[in-house]
A and B are shown apart, each in its own frame.
Chain A
Amino acid sequence: AQSVAQPEDQVNVAEGNPLTVKCTYSVSGNPYLFWYVQYPNRGLQFLLKYITGDNLVKGSYGFEAEFNKSQTSFHLKKPSALVSDSALYFCAVRPYDMRFGAGTRLTVKP
């Protein structure tokens, strides 16, 4: 069965600094990997995905993620964090049903 792990419950960064939110996965076969963001009292919003092709994928709001097959990782990154990026971030894996990680709360301080 597939699973994802988000090893950090909380990530704190200063505005303008780069941010990384970590995700590792376990799946049989080729993984489909996703990042979602959730703002308070809002639904889950899709950020980006890796299905095939270039290991570096770019998504919404300046976010990107790098698929690393040897390390089974799919870390989310942004070169310069904004206060408005503060939210809950979830990594997810497929190829069959979709399983989510426990989430990482990102706080960007001014």
Chain B
Amino acid sequence: DTGVSQDPRHKITKRGQNVTFRCDPISEHNRLYWYRQTLGQGPEFLTYFQNEAQLEKSRLLSDRFSAERPKGSFSTLEIQRTEQGDSAMYLCASSSDMTEAFFGQGTRLTVV
């Protein structure tokens, strides 16, 4: 297994456009997490899946953000009507019940 992979690594989009990011977790991991990180800050929790069920979603997250994990495998994070404040690094991580979370390299979003 090559670890957690995220695609794309970089995304530049115009304000108002929709973007979608993909995360492929480590195959045997049942837990999947999405975070947003800005420079020098801690990862801000966005949402969490256990298998295909989305069990928690940050109250800070507006309804422009949605995530899916069909069949409990890969996950997608969509941001609709992007705003400049959405510019950040979007991190995906996966774990099993007893392990630490393994992080992908992230998708850097720039909204212009």
Write the residues of chain A forming the contact surface with B, with a CB cutoff of 8 angstroms: 6, 34, 43-44, 46, 49, 51, 88, 90, 92, 96-103, 105
Contacts and interface: CB of A to CB of B under 8 A. Distances in A.
Nearest to A101: B42
Contacts, number: 48
A103 B41 contact: yes
Interface residues of B, number: 22
Nearest to B45: A99
B106 A98 contact: no
Given A97-B56, A98-B93, A100-B35, A49 B100 contact: yes
A40 B95 CA distance: 24
A98 B45 contact: yes
A105 B40 CA distance: 9
A90 B106 contact: no
